[in-house]
Amino acid sequence: MHRLTAFLPWLLLLAAMAAVLATGNGYYVTVAMLMMLWAILALGLNFILGYAGYFHLGLGAFYGLGAYGAAAFSASYQMPMIVALLVMPAAGALISVVIGPLMLRTRDLHFAVATLALGMIVSDVTNNWVAVTGGPMGMGGISRPGQIGIGALSIDGATTSGMFIITAAIFLALMIVAAIARRSDFVLILRGIKSDDMMTRSLGFSTTRYKVAAFAIAGAIASVGGVLYAHIVQYISPEPFTFFAASFQAFVVLAVGGLGSLWGPVLGSVLLTGLPEILEMDPHVKLLVYGAVLLIVTIVLPRGLASMGRVLSARARASANAKTKEKQT
């Protein structure tokens, strides 16, 4: 019974994807792809923030790295999307490994400010290095994948539905990896670091290596999101990768969904990305909604939407126990 319950969210996710694709509505399919993008960003952030407890506010830098790298490979060198999907996450992880040991010497507010500064530097570079990034005008000419597969099993990546299938496949793969990692010793040690860094170090674990690894995983997954964004939209400019447009929203999606949970990124993305898009909210209104939802969830469900089932179950048991005691008395 427990195993069936564990598989239920996966079945619901697959059913929701199939239902969106079956509608054939380009707008709904595009909104679903955006939800998966934000879930991917939150999924990466979960490793360094949800498990290790480090507030990474520069995720937009790696998101932008993946997008601009994909744009360069596609528009300038006419290379297929798979090249960017292989190269840019590796680049994001490598950069994280290089700068990670320096940045992770700090913690709490100092680390948050350091990563915020990183995002601001990258944002400034994308705005002013016109020869490479196109500056404020951005970069276009990004082509989607062509025909993938053979015969009846082939999909046309150039279409919206085909790009949706590619995005969904990558998203599901990352979710499976995250589900496996969540039960690993690696994540267990990251949780120990979050709880008590000194104690974990005293047990013989090199906490710096684990923190750098979590930082690198977050950068790599954010770069994957950037590659997908570039090929979905087929045009990029600096605005989507700024702090408020990327890093802050990814943080809110994860915080609302549930830090350290597998399904938190998905729930947070559905609530904060899907509903505002379907309701066609103004961008400024979205920020207000994000703040209000974050405040409400923090007060009512401190562990996020993913903990709602446990909270309701605990309340139901408490109510049942109270009624049983009343009957006995």
Is residue 185 exposed (0-12), middle (13-18) or buried (19+ Cβ within 10 Å)?
exposed
57 near 243, Cβ under 8 Å? yes
Tell me the per-residue pLDDT of 4-36, one tens digit each, with 9 for 90 and over.
677 889 999 999 999 999 998 999 999 999 999
Band of residue 176 on the pLDDT scale cut at 50, 70, 90: very high
Q: What is the spatial distance between Cα 174 and Cα 41, in angstroms, rounded to a whole number?
A: 11
Cβ 92 vs Cβ 223: under 8 Å: yes
In 3D, which of 300, 329, 293, 327 has the Cα closest to residue 315?
A: 300
State yes or no: pLDDT of 70 exceeds 70: yes
pLDDT at 5: 74
User: What pLDDT is stored for residue 261 in this prediction?
Assistant: 94
Closest CA to 223 of 77, 90, 108, 316: 90
Q: How many residues does the chain have?
A: 329
Distance, in Å, from the CA atom of 264 to the CA atom of 258, rounded to the nearest integer, reads 4
The structure tokens listed for 181 are 């990692």
Contacts of 97 (CB under 8 A, 6+ apart): 212, 215, 216
Q: How confident is the model at residue 291 (pLDDT cuts 50, 70, 90)?
A: confident
Pairwise pLDDT comparison (317 vs 15), residue with the higher score: 15
pLDDT band of 243, cuts 50, 70, 90: very high
CA atoms of 151 and 303, how far apart (whole Å): 47
Helices assigned H by DSSP within the chain: 2-23, 26-45, 59-71, 81-103, 109-128, 130-133, 160-182, 185-195, 197-202, 207-233, 248-257, 264-269, 275-278, 283-300, 308-328
Is the pLDDT reported for residue 73 higher than 90?
yes
Split at pLDDT 50, 70, 90, the class of 151 is low
**Mean pLDDT across 50-70:** 96
Can you spell out the DSSP letters for 86-108? Answer: HHHHHHHHHHHHHHHHHHTTS-T
pLDDT number for residue 283: 72
pLDDT of residue 324: 76
Q: What is the residue-averaged pLDDT of the chain?
A: 90
- How do 155-156 and 147-148 pair as beta strands? antiparallel
What are the pLDDT digits (tens) for 161-172? 999 999 999 999
- H-helix segments, 130-206: 130-133, 160-182, 185-195, 197-202
